Structure 1
Amino acid sequence: MTERIDGHTILIGLMAYPIRHSMSPTMHNNAFAKLGLNYAYLAFEVGNDTLPSAIESIRTLDMRGSNISMPNKQKVIPLLDKLDPAAEMVGAVNTIVNDHGTLTGYTTDGTGFMKSLSDEGLDIRGEKMTLAGAGGAGTAIAIQAALDGVKEIAIFDLDSVYQKNAKHNVDIINEKTNCHATLHTLADQDDFKQQISESAIYCDSTGVGMKPLEDETLVSDPSWFRQDMIVFDTVYAPRTTKLMKVAEQAGVKHVFNGLGMMLEQGAEAFKLWTGEDMPVDYIRDLLFNDDGVTTK
């Protein structure tokens, strides 16, 4: 890193809270080094209260852009100049590109999710998905899955904060795609169990399972899962979440954390900033070399 940084190095950030656990700096900085690009990627712990000044710093410091994660993916939108059509449809941003002071918001979470499944040889088009969470990541996943051909999505909102957003997601999917989306509440555990039992994939896009909730899971009973389904947790720190352990107890064949999604959404952002393709295979080997990512 010290050999690459000089007076011409271009800064890219990651703004979220908490964020010190993130693998994104490792991913992007190794990709820059591999391709000989004079960029540096740093993580900044930024919450909603300090977000406005942090976004303005992108302009002030002439940064190339930044990734945005929880809890800022929706709060950041009024602070930007433009939105990519996909981000506008999703109503959330995870990537900002700075073009000479003009900040444009993009979303790459949904494409990252679908691509990570494709990387594993899995195709959920024409299938039913149960999705927990209607925040920035959950919204992007739901809408991209619907656009890509998932037949049905049962969306469970985690709490009242995202209830309005969850309803919006259902409405926009039903209006603008061929997918049928329905809205549910986690308070109805019988319904939650039933929807999962009918699904080819269960995805948890909430922060449950991540610090400080690493000992928690929305599904604690292994009998809720089938061996032939997919269980996907967007959390990747810890590598094996409580949800993943429950799925493994049930003998589920395809159990994933969020590392593959992070890699693919990162590759999309990398292209937006640099115009270059991320060396995905090289980065995958660096991130996944502890055998803690997936069981098949």
Structure 2
Amino acid sequence: MSGGLIPTAAPEFRSGFVSIVGRPNVGKSTLMNYLVGQKIAITSPVAQTTRNRLQGILTTPQAQIIFVDTPGIHKPHHELGKVLVQNARVAIGSVDVVLFVVEATSAAGKGDLFVSNLIAQTKGPVVLGINKVDQLPESGRKAAEIKHSYEALAAEHGWSVVKFSALTGEGIENLQTELVAKLEPGPYYYPPDLVTDQPERFIMGELIREQILLHTREEVPHSVAIAIEKVEEDKNITRILATVNVERKSQKGILIGKGGLMMKAISTAAREQMQKLVAGKVYLEIFVRVQERWRQSRTRLSEFGYKVEK
């Protein structure tokens, strides 16, 4: 995630911001990680994992695309949910191109239509990206039904369609080509070797949160907020101190686990990911603290980095 000098772009060079939008769990974060060639967004089998508008940067000889990964658009159930959906709406209206991601495993449903109505209000170009084509049956009535439902949706709004798999990489080159074609000529916004505009501490916190989601699944779903309290670097090791904030004592018990085994497993897995991030040894210490109903408090949300986009 280093950043050097920003070069001067050639006249034909294209650049701009692309918002990745869709329902929860359609593979938006997996797609962004694949596009930038590095893990910067957390992926998990649990829906609604993306919270902040994470920006991934892809620079090729022809273009620089800044991807804005938004939370899955859903009906919010608490203040955190409201903040996330509001931020996703802002992301749709403030970019050059919208990439609307759906999944090839099922036909367009109510959730997709809700998102498409939001996107339809934007003035800019939209690409409908059909993800998970590796899981789509090649023929048969179901495959035809799915294909027709998305093609009809795209035709209604005049959107172009690209099919791909964020997992295998199939069709990703076509997707990139389509997105670049929709961008205007423009400058380099970031140094070419930068893959995200997020500070390293934010990524560290996300790596811990990902392991909590993977290890605890639905038991401690989205009631966690990570604070990286301290990062000390010397030439041999990076020492990281983190606090995991939960809403209830029972969640604290689940996270620590019997004899501290759950926290040990989470810490070990997060530390391994962090070592790739900093390209060196990491010592990670995690504390768990109860902050009751933090997701309902605008003050706490702001403290933990969840600010409302205007």
Larger Rg: 2
Fold conserved between structures, TM > 0.5: no
| TM-score, with structure 1 as normaliser | 0.31
- Larger relative contact order (CA 8 Å, sep ≥ 6): 2
